[in-house]
Amino acid sequence: MRVHITILSSCLFSLCFAHLITTNPIVTIEDGTVIGHVKDSAVVWLGIPFAAPPVGDGRWAPPKSPKPFGTIIASEYSPACPQTCNTLPKFCPKKTDEDCLYLNVYSPLIRDPDVLMPVMVFLHGGSFSSGEASLFLYDGDTNVNRSSTLLVTLNYRLGPLGFLSTENIPGNFGIQDQLKALQWIRDNIVKFGGNFEQITLFGESAGAISVGLHLTSERSRGLFHRAILQSNPVSLLHKTREQAETFGRNFLKKVNCKTSDLSCLRSLSVDDIVRIGGERPSTNVLTFSLQELLPWGPVIDNDYVPMQLLPAVTQGKIQKVPVILGSNTGEGVFFVYPLLTTPLNDFYLGAILVTIWGAKNLLTIHDTYDIRPNLLDLKKDNRLLLSQMITDYVFVCPTRQMAQSLSNYNHHTYLYSFDHAISFDEYGPAYNACNSHACHASELGFVFDIPNRDGFTMATSQEKILATQMMTYWTGFAKSSDGSPNQISHMSVFRQAFLK
């Protein structure tokens, strides 16, 4: 009871100095005037341009600053960047446009106008091929109002438009878009009540990969001060320049453009670019490579992407900021079950293991997972076992290695494991297995406090508590002076082996 009284007292005390925003807030920045919108639980500015439209000569070019825009009514989300949506149907954008480099700012409805708030900047996932800042999942109304933080979400170029790399096209334009947005936030967020010296950069999946890139890039130094990496597929390596150019030449061949002819590429319709860029290299699981989970993405260029993340961390070539990182216990379920829709017997499991990890590692894998093949049992289903292997290899093991290396260099490092299977259907029929496992992206609804949103009735009472705890950990990390997320009662370590 004492904890609840302390929290209530703090809230009442802060209200004495707080200001309730009731009219649409007007913010003037160098580029123009932005008129926000007051909602039931937050103040929002939606669809603010942080870069010029990447069209015409701006296609496959670094982002440029936007032209002065006068006054904009920032009450509607911008379109998402062009994409082929191969993910969950309700996660697909309603509208896309090549003119997509916009961001959204969420602010508490009640705040002290004399105190600058910590800022949390979210980079969405989607394999660098899909996703958007305006997804309902990332709505920051509840978070900011309950935590007294600012939230910024942003779009960046995807697929071939964001990551095509050839001899004449350097690639990494999506990463450059993120950098441009971070620079915009540094220069303008104070006008929205945010503290540009207290910025937390966080992301999930491809967004976590992006956070890792900014941790290693000198260009991003000083633009954020804490980092959270959720479900970072560390083992999916960035392409080398040679690999990216080979992949790029294959794309050029499909669109009938020569390597040196940038004008040909810029004359293509965005629909053709997205359609051809969205073609999957393989649908045969016996020739499948894990790298096919990330067909488009960053390329090592010794500039925006200087090196692979794990070697950078182990060598200490990374910004020294507090870090939270972790993964979900059923990450692999999200990828395995939609690809393998029928049971996987021992024969086909062995073939897939050889395809992914090579015959020389087969005995080690069998010993590690205590596999005793029975080739006569044709009805056996190893999909869950394969999912666990993917989870361990792609997410869990390299994340733990990264956490250990960060702590060796005296970083404030916090490692988490999320193992709650959500009670409500977030994924849809193709992902039924995720209803009983903590799948890839399962934690997002709790980080963004969906169970406690007004009108959301599908969550259990325990899920509401879990969402409050996770939201408090994440925002507490952003607000604390030393990067500690522990603003709720601390649990003792109950699985010491997890840390080894």
Residues designated as active site:
205, 331, 440
DSSP string, 275-305: HHHT--S---GGG--GGGG-SS--B--SSSS
What are the contacts of 377-382 at 24+ separation with CB within 8 A?
377/345, 377/346, 378/345, 378/347, 379/343, 379/345, 380/343, 380/344, 380/345, 380/346, 381/343, 381/344, 381/345, 382/343, 382/344, 382/345, 382/346, 382/349
* Nearest of 465, 487, 476, 484 to residue 3 by alpha carbon: 487
**Whole-angstrom distance, CA of residue 26 vs CA of residue 36:** 6
> Which SS3 state, helix, strand or coil, does residue 374 take?
coil
Between the CA of residue 475 and those of 228, 265, 311, 465, what are the distances in Å?
Answer: 11, 43, 29, 15
* Tokens of residue 452, six digits: 């406690």
* Nearest of 330, 315, 446, 314 to residue 396 by alpha carbon: 330
Q: Cβ neighbours of residue 228 under 8 Å, at least 6 residues apart? A: 200, 201, 202, 203, 211, 323, 324, 325, 474, 477
The DSSP secondary-structure symbol of 422 reads: P
**Beta-strand pair 323-328/413-418:** parallel
* Nearest of 419, 455, 413 to residue 436 by alpha carbon: 419
